[in-house]
Chain A
Amino acid sequence: MAALNLAGLITAAADTIAEHAEELTALDQAIGDGDHGLNMKRGFEAVRAEADMFAAKPLPEALKAIGTKLVMTVGGASGPLFGTLFMALGKEISAEPDRTNLTAAFGKAIEAVAARGKSQVGQKTMLDVLQPVHDALVEGKTGSEIADVADTAAKATVPMKALRGRASFLGERSIGHMDAGARSTALLVRTIVETLERQP
């Protein structure tokens, strides 16, 4: 794997979240408390503002610092969940990861998110995108295939009944709406793999 352009990745991720902030908020208004788009945008803009500082660090430290920044700036329950994803990834990843290390680190990070949210796959959360993406990494799928897996997985949360988070209060009424966290996770996965494939 060539040296990573982390600043470019951060910019791309923040652009994606900003472009989709209204869509994410609309999804969250349907079955949550309607702040997901705004919260994610605030967090990723805070990371963008210090992109060069993060990019100057070795990858594990950079990911941990980005996770901490997200915890402190996203707010809601998404802050700790997305923050934990990046912090745990930073703890497990090597400075120059190959696919095997990345896959293993990503698996550990998913476990950390599940523990933080006391949740598991099938409960209409971001885990329902993260786990299929991990499976796709294990199966050796290409970047664009992985992005498609993420999109399909996010759409698959529509018929699910929420069992965790604010949406779980709605019970059956949560069925028929895509989970906002699953959607934002899929957006980030697509942005990251497409940016990596464009980088030399």
Chain B
Amino acid sequence: MSNVGIVIVSHSPLVAEGTADMVRQMVGDEVPLAWCGGNGHGGLGTNVEAIMGAIDRAWSEAGVAILVDLGGAETNSEMAVEMIGEPRSQKIIVCNAPIVEGAVMAATESSGGASLKEVVATAHELSPS
């Protein structure tokens, strides 16, 4: 796929899946989309291996934008990007945006064929500077 991929990372699998459902309903199937949530042991949390898997599933040569909820999701997502390594890591950006609104807006932008930079900028507009 040539559209930018969207990855949703929440501490809660229910939040992540629900956010992905909203993206699908509003944007359709044009955008590569994947989500992950939970600590991998049945509890709330995020884990690097699951995030790396979600990035693989949503992978696009146009790049991948990651939307996260709380701090640990951001730390783990940045770790996942680093472990994926270059050259792919240069095309993956962890967005500073609210997870639900950010995912919907980023996916909408992506579905129109926008670049990774444009997709991320759209998500970032949702955060107070």
Contacts and interface: CB of A to CB of B under 8 A. Distances in A.
Given A35-B43, A80-B78, 5 more contacts: A71-B48, A83-B79, A164-B71, A165-B72, A166-B70
Contacts, number: 48
B71 A79 contact: no
A33 B44 CA distance: 10
Given A71-B48, A72-B49, A79 B76 contact: yes
Interface string A101-123: 00000000000000011000000
Contacts of B43: 35
A25 B127 CA distance: 34
B63 interface: no
A95 interface: no
A77 B74 CA distance: 9
Interface of B: 39-41, 43-49, 70-72, 75-76, 78-79, 83
Nearest to A38: B41
Given A35-B45, A71-B48, A116-B78, A77 B83 contact: no
Contacts of A68: 83
Contacts of B49: 72
Given A68-B83, A71-B83, A76-B39, A165 B71 contact: yes
A165 B41 CA distance: 21
A81 interface: yes
24 contacts: A33-B44, A33-B45, A35-B43, A35-B45, A42-B41, A68-B83, A71-B83, A72-B47, A72-B48, A72-B49, A76-B39, A76-B45, A77-B75, A79-B48, A79-B79, A80-B48, A80-B76, A80-B78, A80-B79, A84-B79, A116-B78, A116-B79, A165-B72, A166-B72
Given A71-B83, A80-B76, A80-B79, A166 B71 contact: yes
A75 interface: yes
Contacts of A116: 75, 78-79
Contact of A75 (B47, B70, B78): B47
A75 to B, nearest CB: 5
A71 B78 CA distance: 12
Contacts of B76: 77, 79-80
Nearest to A168: B71
Contacts of B46: 75
Which 5 A/B pairs are nearest by Cβ-Cβ distance?
A: A80-B79, A77-B72, A75-B39, A77-B75, A75-B47
